[in-house]
Amino acid sequence: MSPLCRNCGRPRGNRTDAGCRCIPAWLWELPEARQAVQDKDVDSLIRLIRRHTNLSQHALARMAGVSQPLISNIVSHKRGLKNIGRIDQALEGLGATHTDTRSRVKRDRNLAQAAPEGRGDWDHIPLSPQPPPSQQPDPVWKPLLSADTGIVDWLSSELQRLELDYDVLPSASVLAEAGQLHSTLIRAGTNSASQLHTLLSLRSRSALLMGQLVWDASHRKDGSTAAMYLNEAILAAQESKDRAIAAKALLRRAFIPLYSSGGNLHEALASAQRASHAAKGHPATQASVALHISEVHARMGNRIEAEHHLDDADAYAQQADLDADEWSGRRLRMAGSIYLSLGRPSHAQALLEQAVPLLDGRAKSQAIVVANLALAHIRQRRPEQAVQSLQQALDTVESTRAGGALPLVATASRELRPWRQEPWVADVHDRLFTFLAS
């Protein structure tokens, strides 16, 4: 017989309407929930449950078998649950022991080992959708709204608007509104199977956007929060069978070790290869993934592999029949970065100069190109041209707070140190310091 929930009194592990639904099934599928259960980290688990449900502190205290003041202290980081016996009791009370977490963790580890060889299965972790409103007993876990066709259309248009804003506005200015929309998508429910599929697809795109915004707004420093949202995007994309979004989220996961200070290139390559596997059948996405796999190999110093994947990207782009100018701008931007990493700054300069006019309207991407162009000039010992490019990159960074360009601007500034006595170099250094101080 299934144990009873200490909050609602219904049987746990019961998939029928009469079963306990205090904590939605999909929450246990979140990577941070599985990790918290594996680590027996009740404190983090309680904060996660509070963030994603309407359960009160009193309800959580009843479920965990502890006092309400202790839950309050855990939520406010003032005190944690330390006693091992009480930790096990709390996990059982919350229902964490009925999620088969250990087997899932073991399976994830096996998939991670297979990923570098391209064998990782893109849809290995199911994400259970939220139950429709009619299956949710009062008073626990009511959706924020019942999503009819009009609401779903509105959510879709709002998400599309924010995705467009990401390319032109500072990520920090978009983040709050995107977070509110994502919270709405998490809590939305519907009785329609087709609309539920649409909501899952929107949620995967929204989580992907949140991962991008957090990563960008933190100037590529908050990798853990970005990864949390990207994992959510992968899970939702797996459930909605959207291989393209799953691939984009996996590729974004690769960006974290690829572009972080002291990042792990082998980890980046493994994630990018999983993205390539997920993108099968979507040549436009495969083209983008191939460009970044080429970049990883370039940073590893593997010129032959880097150029091989550049050719693959061109082949996929041809299959996808992409817009010629749009693809050329993206390809030239990436190829310039790749040849810069391979120690060929003159070749990189030629490619980057061609990319600049093709990226009009994509300010953040253009800023990355111009910052890389500054590096290409510096490495050919052309400091005056480098400063001109650096000033242009700073124009965009100051207006968009482009997180991708800022580390490149900082690197270029450091590499200008041999000429730091020159007044035009001192000016750009002062401008960068003023921006960072603001």
Q: Could you state, in chain order, the average pLDDT of each consecutive group of 10 residues for the chain (438 residues)?
A: 69 62 80 84 87 80 81 79 76 67 40 40 40 36 56 89 86 90 84 82 94 89 90 90 93 91 87 93 94 95 95 93 87 95 95 90 85 94 92 82 78 90 85 78
Kind plus residue range of the DSSP H or E element containing 360: none
Residues 149 and 85 in one domain: no
389: in domain: yes
**Domain encompassing residue 381:** 357-438
Of 206, 241, 276, the residue that ends a domain is 241
Residues 228 and 173 in one domain: yes
Residue 195: its pLDDT value, please?
82
Residue 13: its pLDDT value, please?
63
Token look-up 């001109």 returns 388
286: in domain: no
Count of domains in the chain?
3
80: in domain: yes
Residues 19 and 96 in one domain: yes
Residue 147: its pLDDT value, please?
60
Residues 152 and 209 in one domain: yes
Residues 93 and 150 in one domain: no
Of 190, 208, 241, the residue that ends a domain is 241
Contacts of 117 (CB under 8 A, 6+ apart): 273
Contacts of 326 (CB under 8 A, 6+ apart): 358
Alpha-carbon distances of 39 from 42, 83, 87, 96, 397, rounded to whole Å: 9, 14, 11, 12, 40
205: in domain: yes
Residues 91 and 179 in one domain: no
What share of the chain has pLDDT > 90, as a percent? 38
- Long-range contacts at 354-357 (CB < 8 A, ≥ 24 apart): 354/328, 355/328, 355/329
381: in domain: yes
Residues 74 and 161 in one domain: no
333: in domain: no
Query: pTM of the entire structure?
Result: 0.65
342: in domain: no
Residues 97 and 152 in one domain: no
Per the CB < 8 A criterion, the answer to whether 168 and 211 are in contact is no
Per the CB < 8 A criterion, the answer to whether 249 and 234 are in contact is yes
Residue 18: its pLDDT value, please?
59
Per the CB < 8 A criterion, the answer to whether 409 and 368 are in contact is no
Residues 150 and 95 in one domain: no
392: in domain: yes
Measured CA to CA, the distance from residue 224 to residue 67 in angstroms comes to: 31
CA R_g for the chain: 24
Written as six digits, the tokens of 283 are 């040549």
182: left (phi over 0), alpha (psi -120 to 50) or beta: alpha
Residue 128: its pLDDT value, please?
33
Of 47, 72, 101, the residue that ends a domain is 101
